[in-house]
Structure 1
Amino acid sequence: MTVGQNGPKAETGNVGAASARAPRIAVVDYCKGNLMSVERGLRHVGADGFVTADPAEIARADAIVLPGVGAFADAADTMHALGQAAAIRERIAHGVPFLGICLGLHLMFDEGTEGTDVDNDEAENACGLAVLPGVATSMPRTDAEGAAYKVPHVGWNSIEFDAQASTALLEGIEPGEYFYFTHSYIAPDTPCTVATTVHSVAFPSVVAYRDTAFGVQFHPEKSSDAGAALLRNFAAIARRATGA
């Protein structure tokens, strides 16, 4: 691993065979922010990334990326209203490669508390995509010994995982590699957790469902060479899924 001006970097490798047709990867726009950095990151690793809010375009794509912009409740409401949630769930069920980034990871779960009325004991959690069971909740501000931690968790941190039980998304990435995080909420631990990170508590930083649907707590598009390696892996997964 090398360290550059933007933080720790992983050496990149050539993941997957070259293809005559780049996989078309939809970057879901749920009207909450600028998604161009994710689109550029996908194009940088040889994928045909494109931003769309259209459920029909999402359904036709070779793969789907759900980026991390906004709060859970607001994003979920918009996705359900626009028909994006139904399209994404259907494609995941059919094995189409999917990558949720930060909030996109949280939205893979049944419910989330972010953006709900936390002061109202009778307030209901917001409904996510329900691909995975559980509720995404706020990150604790103290650890088990009572030591205080800054929340939001912002900056470079490492991911830890069993290299022998890893997933295709992490091919060529070593345990202990650093990625860039910025978040105040965390996903629940499930059997789909394949990597964890510690900041006040250990939380899932990578999940894999059927080895075709993935979620990451960090931002690969902001994670220098290590992030590019992960996006290259996802593009390779999408390419294989098309049979190219």
Structure 2
Amino acid sequence: MIAVVDYDTGNTRSVGKALTHIGLEHIITADPAIIRQSDGIILPGVGAFAQAMANMEARGLDTLIKEVVQNGKPLLGVCVGMQLLFDSSTEYGETRGLGLIPGRVERLPESNLKVPHMGWNQLESQQDSLFNLVNHAYVYYVHSYYVVTASDYILASSDYGVKIPGIVQKNNVFGTQFHPEKSGDAGFQVLKLFKEVVVACSSSQQSI
């Protein structure tokens, strides 16, 4: 069972429909007991980083997410949900994030390209991983801020005047800046790959 975290700042229903499409059992919830009992977690997000983080903190979900990740549960952050995984954001002033992956969130630089970055862009793998299956695939982005982090944590990126981390990972924590639930077959493939991670992790824990 996947817990899709509901904190009033996420496109939870769209993510839920995508999970149903690929046959992945899930529940949309903010209940700490259910989140702790789940096999994996998806943290969706749209809108502003500061508001999303405030909503998390008001519900005690920031502490809970850190706890379950520390215990080895796989986590996938989506869009702003991915940005929350990092140390901080400069959006509407400096705001602290979850600090699960080193890095910070900054505004896309001014250039001849429009901000927000909205629409389809191609993923390019940066290192070997399960997600090489979506190398060169086109995925759907909607964002004005992007993550600045070490290359060690970037599995795939897209070019938009700067290198935008499209898929990130540190241990059992994953994130996609793009919306897999809006990215057609490539997005479904990403969710299926996360499902594989969850199943493998669950099997490993049961065998201990």
TM-score over 0.5 (shorter chain): yes
Selected match of 2:155 from 194, 216, 219: 194
SS in 2 for 1:89: helix
How many angstroms apart in 2 are the aligned matches of 1:33 and 1:196?
A: 23
Q: Is contact 1:46–1:232 with CA below 8 Å preserved after alignment?
A: no
**1:232 to 2:192 alignment:** yes
Q: Is contact 2:45–2:52 with CA below 8 Å preserved after alignment?
A: no
Q: Is contact 1:189–1:203 with CA below 8 Å preserved after alignment?
A: no
Q: Deviations over 1:12-45 (max 9, x none)?
A: xxxxxxxxxxxx1111111125411101111221
- Amino acid across the alignment from 1:72: F
Q: Deviations over 1:153-194 (max 9, x none)?
A: 0000011114xx3222x1532x21110111000011222111
Q: Is contact 1:97–1:213 with CA below 8 Å preserved after alignment?
A: yes
Instruction: Name the residue aligned to 2:101.
Output: 132
Answer 1 or 2: higher relative contact order, Cα 8 Å, separation at least 6.
1
Q: Deviations over 1:104-142 (max 9, x none)?
A: 1110011112233xxxxxxxx111110012210111121
**1:149 to 2:126 alignment:** no
**1:87 to 2:64 alignment:** yes
**1:36 to 2:13 alignment:** yes
Identity percentage over the alignment?
40
Q: Structure 1 segments of 4 or more deviating over 3 A?
A: none
Structure 1: which 5+ residue stretches go unaligned?
1-23, 117-124, 143-147
SS in 1 for 2:3: strand
SS in 2 for 1:229: helix
Shifted more, 212-221 versus 30-39: the winner is 30-39
Kindly indicate which of the two structures has a greater share of residues assigned to helix: 2
Structure 2: which 5+ residue stretches go unaligned?
none
**1:101 to 2:78 alignment:** yes
**1:204 to 2:181 alignment:** no
Instruction: Name the residue aligned to 1:15.
Output: none
Q: Deviations over 1:83-103 (max 9, x none)?
A: 111111111122211101110
How many angstroms apart in 2 are the aligned matches of 1:205 and 1:179?
A: 9
Superposition deviation, residue 242 in structure 1: 1.5
How many angstroms apart in 1 are the aligned matches of 2:31 and 2:61?
A: 7
SS in 2 for 1:214: strand
- Amino acid across the alignment from 2:64: A
Shifted more, 177-186 versus 125-134: the winner is 125-134
Instruction: Name the residue aligned to 1:166.
Output: 128
**1:182 to 2:127 alignment:** no
Q: Is contact 1:207–1:215 with CA below 8 Å preserved after alignment?
A: yes
How many angstroms apart in 2 are the aligned matches of 1:189 and 1:159?
A: 17
Q: Is contact 1:207–1:214 with CA below 8 Å preserved after alignment?
A: yes
How many angstroms apart in 1 are the aligned matches of 2:156 and 2:18?
A: 22
Instruction: Name the residue aligned to 1:16.
Output: none
Selected match of 2:182 from 222, 225, 236: 222
Superposition deviation, residue 58 in structure 1: 1.6
Query: Aligned pairs, how many?
Result: 203
